[in-house]
Chains A and B, each alone.
Chain A
């Protein structure tokens, strides 16, 4: 039996609500006043310069005392959207023909261009970019296919494309010393690679100086989906288990996981996903990169997918309240879906990069070449340059709200590689 009547309770609630609202309004105005006072004080202190209007504010809507970490303002250039990039997979064109080995041929077109890109709000960087974007398009093929890349160099420097694949023809390696070598401006070449092994891979320019060509933006992800039939034929190739350890149950599970990896909805060989309780899988590509804007051999901007803080919040008062910005906003994810991140590190000038999730542990598949995790239940993974892997996250029993993820080199995080999932 409650000791207070319903009417009394409602009245009390209303009183608390109005008091809270009053306090909130008071707090906001007080902060605004303090911010203004600070500016006036600063104006009075300066011997030079006129006392003047407060210019446009940095990070957020109102001033708080400890300041707000993060890039000021929103992005201007809408040429590249890191949120769209997450789930954009370029599957090329599947040709009817097969090659002499009976491999299906999947054809892509890439070029290299010199383009200015916006890497932090207002800060542009003259990139060398595949198809005019950094990271380049995420290429996706099925294990065993022949990948044909019709490449034209439209940039001012000589470029190549070097794939991190198990390629059997050295001429197709995309290095200056072999095959067509570097391609000068307006030269073209058709690279032919074999999509193997299954996994999360990497392509990049191998012209010299290598450091410059990679750091300027010539890289992208190359995903090879495991073929469930091949997994059935040779399950030991897709796990760290010895062949003698492969039980029929494990074999079935490996095949199911291979199907789950083919989750792309519009993919014509979409598999049947029956291995998780999830309604589906949400796949994302995150290329950890950085930019040295002042040529001092150190990056001024770090990010997942080029734009500093693009997966951050637009503004926050530091008291647990936040707002999504127009271009800076968390990645919204459905808790009922398995979250699969194809994670690559292309960072230049720093030895390693890392991926750390808050309030969450994940399974990690190094290089994505196995169907059983190489690390199980971890919350931080480290990658050297060119290392990559698959991260699988399950938020099904997490409460709604923001979950931070970032490089756990604090410096990288504070220089842009700081992101959030918003679980809904």
Chain B
């Protein structure tokens, strides 16, 4: 009987009640444990304190700001701060006192006259005498958040993000005239480009995750972000069906998230006072990103040509995040959010690669020599041009 209820011992039990039973029992058990706390006496020593310095900001050459999180299981009190092996005065912002509850974040503001280029070694001394060290390598004053900087970063973003993608999209009329074989190879080339970007952003995500406070499990956060984004995008496209235009938007989104990361890198280089975006670097970014243009439009090369508004939207989605990334990065973004953004980008790219592969398979054969070689060329070209853009 597939009805609304099941007969248990002669009593009709609604089906939904059956689904709730384990949850209700768990809630009762948790409640009982909280009330009676039978394990209160079970303690083997004290959990170790853990204070993470996720990042630092240097608003001027007389101030050091440490962004700290209590990554341990117990409250921890910042008793003393040592700067370059000397006790130093400090104040705390973003919290009521010097004690941080588990997972609580705050800022430690140290009035210290530092010297650009000379490393600053900071140690936080907590109640029991444990120390937590952080080194600010080759500090430089951050330019601060000014309209000029925002405009500058927007200009850079347009040059390295929007312009090259727009240029790449100009291949579209040529791509409409391609043979199926060549177009499939172009799509495979785009898949190779995206594959490279997945690795590029993935390594970056794990690197940033190293600065994520331990209790937030940075590496697992990245893995969850990658799988979550891939599965979510897959679910959306499974529900909507595979339209070439939708795939183009997915490619644009994946590339956009990657470009967000590129913007973050540029912006944080500015925030750290390390930006030397010479003409060479801008040119490198342009050559690197021009390959992303054809990747975006390749899915719609057959069939009805989408309206120009769609092209503009695709280009904006893929290119404009460089600007947003630059702005966020220059504000000394939190590594937790940074790692998550990067991971989501990787997940989206992986799903898009899967989608491109199935598109080629639907229209012809995927595993041809030309397709495979085109993917390899896309990958290798990205590697080669990536060498031009080391910040």
Interface of A with B (CB < 8 Å)? 38-39, 41-60, 63-72, 119-125, 291, 293-294, 296, 300, 308-309, 411, 414-416
Contact A69 B57 (CB under 8 A): no
Binds A, one of B124-132, B194-202, B223-231: B124-132
Cα A25 to Cα B129 in complex, Å, equals: 39
Cα A361 to Cα B212 in complex, Å, equals: 54
Contact B80 A121 (CB under 8 A): yes
**13 CB-based A-B contacts, threshold 8 Å:** A38-B59, A39-B93, A43-B94, A45-B65, A52-B93, A53-B96, A67-B83, A67-B88, A72-B87, A72-B90, A122-B80, A293-B125, A416-B87
Least distance between B268 CB and chain A CB atoms (Å): 11
Q: If the complex has contacts A63-B111, A120-B80, A121-B79, are A300 and B88 also in contact, measured as CB distance less than 8 A?
A: no
Q: If the complex has contacts A43-B93, A58-B89, are A120 and B57 also in contact, measured as CB distance less than 8 A?
A: no
- Residue in A54, A67, A291, A416 whose CB lies within 8 Å of B89: A67
Q: Which A-B residue pairs are the 8 nearest by beta carbons?
A: A293-B129, A58-B89, A414-B86, A122-B79, A55-B92, A67-B111, A59-B89, A49-B94
Contact B67 A70 (CB under 8 A): no
CB-CB < 8 A to B112: which residues of A? 66-67
Q: If the complex has contacts A47-B334, A124-B128, are A42 and B109 also in contact, measured as CB distance less than 8 A?
A: yes
CB-CB < 8 A to A72: which residues of B? 79-81, 87, 89-90
CB-CB < 8 A to A43: which residues of B? 93-94, 107
- The closest CB in chain A to the CB of B123 belongs to A300
Q: How many residues of chain B are within 8 Å of chain A by beta carbon?
A: 53
Q: If the complex has contacts A42-B65, A45-B65, A415-B82, are A69 and B87 also in contact, measured as CB distance less than 8 A?
A: yes
The total number of A-B Cβ pairs within 8 Å is 170
Cα A411 to Cα B82 in complex, Å, equals: 11
Contact B67 A38 (CB under 8 A): no
Cα A212 to Cα B239 in complex, Å, equals: 68
Cα A140 to Cα B10 in complex, Å, equals: 93
Contact A123 B67 (CB under 8 A): no
Residues 263-308 (chain B) with a chain A CB within 8 angstroms: none
- The closest CB in chain B to the CB of A38 belongs to B63
Contact A124 B80 (CB under 8 A): no
Beyond known contacts A47-B332, A63-B111: 19 more, CB 8 A cutoff: A39-B93, A42-B59, A42-B63, A43-B107, A49-B94, A54-B93, A55-B91, A56-B91, A58-B91, A68-B89, A69-B87, A70-B89, A72-B79, A120-B125, A121-B80, A293-B128, A300-B123, A300-B129, A300-B131
- The closest CB in chain B to the CB of A58 belongs to B89
Least distance between A300 CB and chain B CB atoms (Å): 6
- The closest CB in chain A to the CB of B63 belongs to A38
Contact A66 B86 (CB under 8 A): no
CB-CB < 8 A to B83: which residues of A? 67
Contact B87 A67 (CB under 8 A): no
Q: Does B97 lie at the interface of the complex (its beta carbon under 8 Å from any beta carbon of A)?
A: yes
Least distance between B354 CB and chain A CB atoms (Å): 33
Contact B81 A411 (CB under 8 A): no
Contact A45 B87 (CB under 8 A): no
Least distance between B136 CB and chain A CB atoms (Å): 15
Q: Does B12 lie at the interface of the complex (its beta carbon under 8 Å from any beta carbon of A)?
A: no
Q: If the complex has contacts A47-B334, A122-B80, A293-B125, are A55 and B98 also in contact, measured as CB distance less than 8 A?
A: yes
CB-CB < 8 A to A50: which residues of B? 94
Contact B95 A55 (CB under 8 A): yes
Q: Does B6 lie at the interface of the complex (its beta carbon under 8 Å from any beta carbon of A)?
A: no
Cα A103 to Cα B288 in complex, Å, equals: 93
Contact A415 B128 (CB under 8 A): no
Q: Does B145 lie at the interface of the complex (its beta carbon under 8 Å from any beta carbon of A)?
A: yes
Contact A55 B93 (CB under 8 A): yes
Contact B87 A415 (CB under 8 A): yes
Cα A46 to Cα B81 in complex, Å, equals: 20
Contact B107 A49 (CB under 8 A): yes
CB-CB < 8 A to B57: which residues of A? 42, 45-46
Cα A199 to Cα B184 in complex, Å, equals: 95
- Residue in B63, B88, B91 whose CB lies within 8 Å of A57: B91
Residues 44-83 (chain B) with a chain A CB within 8 angstroms: 54, 57, 59-60, 62-63, 65, 67, 77, 79-83
Taken residue by residue from 311 to 338, chain B's Cβ proximity to chain A (1 for < 8 Å, 0 otherwise) reads as 0000000000000000010011110110
Q: Does B105 lie at the interface of the complex (its beta carbon under 8 Å from any beta carbon of A)?
A: yes
Task: Choose among A55, A69, A125 the residue with the greatest number of B CB atoms under 10 Å from its CB.
Answer: A55
Cα A31 to Cα B319 in complex, Å, equals: 46
Contact A71 B87 (CB under 8 A): yes
Taken residue by residue from 112 to 136, chain B's Cβ proximity to chain A (1 for < 8 Å, 0 otherwise) reads as 1100000000010111111100000
CB-CB < 8 A to A39: which residues of B? 91, 93, 109
- The closest CB in chain A to the CB of B69 belongs to A48
Cα A308 to Cα B92 in complex, Å, equals: 22
- The closest CB in chain B to the CB of A49 belongs to B94
- Residue in B59, B127, B334 whose CB lies within 8 Å of A124: B127
Contact B81 A58 (CB under 8 A): yes
Q: Does B154 lie at the interface of the complex (its beta carbon under 8 Å from any beta carbon of A)?
A: no
Contact A56 B97 (CB under 8 A): yes
Q: Does B362 lie at the interface of the complex (its beta carbon under 8 Å from any beta carbon of A)?
A: no
Q: Does B106 lie at the interface of the complex (its beta carbon under 8 Å from any beta carbon of A)?
A: yes
Q: Does B4 lie at the interface of the complex (its beta carbon under 8 Å from any beta carbon of A)?
A: no
Q: If the complex has contacts A42-B59, A123-B129, are A54 and B91 also in contact, measured as CB distance less than 8 A?
A: yes
- Residue in A48, A68, A70, A71 whose CB lies within 8 Å of B111: A68
- The closest CB in chain A to the CB of B334 belongs to A48
Q: Does B260 lie at the interface of the complex (its beta carbon under 8 Å from any beta carbon of A)?
A: no
Cα A39 to Cα B130 in complex, Å, equals: 27
CB-CB < 8 A to B63: which residues of A? 38, 42
Q: Does B193 lie at the interface of the complex (its beta carbon under 8 Å from any beta carbon of A)?
A: no
Contact A414 B65 (CB under 8 A): no
CB-CB < 8 A to B97: which residues of A? 55-56
Contact B129 A66 (CB under 8 A): no
Cα A60 to Cα B91 in complex, Å, equals: 11
Q: Does B148 lie at the interface of the complex (its beta carbon under 8 Å from any beta carbon of A)?
A: no
- Residue in B80, B109, B123, B334 whose CB lies within 8 Å of A71: B80
Cα A120 to Cα B77 in complex, Å, equals: 14
Cα A50 to Cα B106 in complex, Å, equals: 8
- The closest CB in chain B to the CB of A39 belongs to B93
Q: Does B190 lie at the interface of the complex (its beta carbon under 8 Å from any beta carbon of A)?
A: no
Contact B92 A291 (CB under 8 A): no
CB-CB < 8 A to A58: which residues of B? 81, 88-91
Cα A123 to Cα B31 in complex, Å, equals: 38
Contact B95 A122 (CB under 8 A): no
- The closest CB in chain A to the CB of B128 belongs to A124
Q: If the complex has contacts A67-B111, A68-B88, are A48 and B67 also in contact, measured as CB distance less than 8 A?
A: yes
- The closest CB in chain B to the CB of A45 belongs to B57
Taken residue by residue from 133 to 163, chain B's Cβ proximity to chain A (1 for < 8 Å, 0 otherwise) reads as 0000000001001000000000000000000
Least distance between B209 CB and chain A CB atoms (Å): 16
- Residue in A41, A46, A123 whose CB lies within 8 Å of B125: A123
